Amino acid sequence: MQALAYAKLNLTLDILGKREDGYHNLQMVMQSISLSDTLTITPGSGRMDTNLSYLPSDERNLAQLAAAAFRRATGQDCQVDISIDKHIPVCAGMAGGSSDAAAVLRALNQLTGAGLTPEQLAKIGAAVGSDVPYCVLGGTALAEGRGEVLQALPPLPACHVVVCKPPFPISTPQLFARVDVKKIVRRPDTRGLIAALERGDLADAARRMYNVFEDVLEPRRRSEIDAIKSVLIDCGALGASMTGSGPTVFGLFDNAQAARQAQQRLSEQYREVFLAETV
């Protein structure tokens, strides 16, 4: 069976507070885009490979963890081989690993005929990673709690997305550790953005995008993120923001030619630049 795993973007990311379990309560508007990994899943003996040699293929890989979580939750002894052709940049804030895990859960549900609902699959996914439940459902959604409390939203109007991943890694736990919730000054207008989605107003939704992690980046990282946002806006993006814990930056465009121009300009400086659409 072949399955597509779509990348996610954070149209908003807000941190509401630190929890006793060490996680943070979040409020995020999520959106899937056409940039995707392809998984091939066949009955087998639990082997796994990817086209990126540096990725772990053992139980450290979220796809393997998802298969194990599915077996535990359903009692099904379904051993599969998983082959992943990765296109979603790794450690980029686009939930690539979580989306692969979600695709494994959906595929095993079909292959075994277990008949679980998307909500039941999302619940199994929560044990694998905070973004996995959203990736099971996809589309446009509000994610709260650790990321696992989900509410479907009216879809973001169709648009062109330019995605640019600068070549430095950001550690998600380290970035969370730098956040002092009381000191967050600028927050996204989540309600305003949801109201814009309800009206189908792309420009207004794009204008309200923001990610509170941008404010806690080291200054030189912050200036690089800001510079990429400026190129996107210069080229005609309706809005631009960082996604997840970064470092990927994206812009939304209602004009295909402007999006291509932004992609070309950023490609002069960055290797990982993509043109995508909303899903």
Q: Which residues bind ligand C5P (CB under 6 A)?
A: 23-24, 26, 129-131, 146-147, 172-173, 176
What is the layout of strands, in order, in the sheet containing 249-253?
239-242, 249-253, 160-165, 272-277
Query: Does 8 qualify as catalytic in the annotation?
Result: yes
Q: Which is nearer to ligand C5P, 148 or 224 (CB)?
A: 148
Cis, bond preceding 118 (omega within 30 deg of 0)? no
CB 236 within 8 A of CB 262: yes
Q: Which is nearer to ligand C5P, 176 or 270 (CB)?
A: 176
- CB count, 10 Å around CB of 128? 25
Query: Residue 71 is encoded by which pair of tokens?
Result: 């077996």
Q: Which is nearer to ligand C5P, 37 or 202 (CB)?
A: 37
Q: Tell me how far, at minimum, the Cβ of 170 lies from ligand C5P, in Å.
A: 11
Please tell me which residue in 37, 86, 131, 165 is annotated as part of the active site.
131
Q: Tell me how far, at minimum, the Cβ of 274 lies from ligand C5P, in Å.
A: 22
CB 128 within 8 A of CB 73: no
**Separation CA 88–CA 143 (nearest Å):** 21
Q: Which is nearer to ligand C5P, 23 or 168 (CB)?
A: 23
**Separation CA 213–CA 174 (nearest Å):** 11
Q: Tell me how far, at minimum, the Cβ of 4 lies from ligand C5P, in Å.
A: 21
Q: Which is nearer to ligand C5P, 205 or 212 (CB)?
A: 212
Query: Does 86 qualify as catalytic in the annotation?
Result: no
Q: Tell me how far, at minimum, the Cβ of 7 lies from ligand C5P, in Å.
A: 15
Q: Tell me how far, at minimum, the Cβ of 19 lies from ligand C5P, in Å.
A: 8
Please tell me which residue in 8, 86, 165, 229 is annotated as part of the active site.
8
Instruction: Convert 186-195 to b/e letters by CB count within 10 Å (16 or more is b).
Output: ebbbbeebbe
Q: Which regions of 55-202 does DSSP assign to beta strands (E)?
A: 80-85, 140-145, 149-152, 160-165
Q: Which residue is nearest to ligand C5P (CB)?
A: 130
**Separation CA 51–CA 34 (nearest Å):** 19
- CB count, 10 Å around CB of 16? 15
Q: Tell me how far, at minimum, the Cβ of 58 lies from ligand C5P, in Å.
A: 17
Mutual angle of helices 96-112 and 62-74, in 10-degree steps: 40
Q: Which is nearer to ligand C5P, 105 or 159 (CB)?
A: 105
Catalytically annotated residues: 8, 131
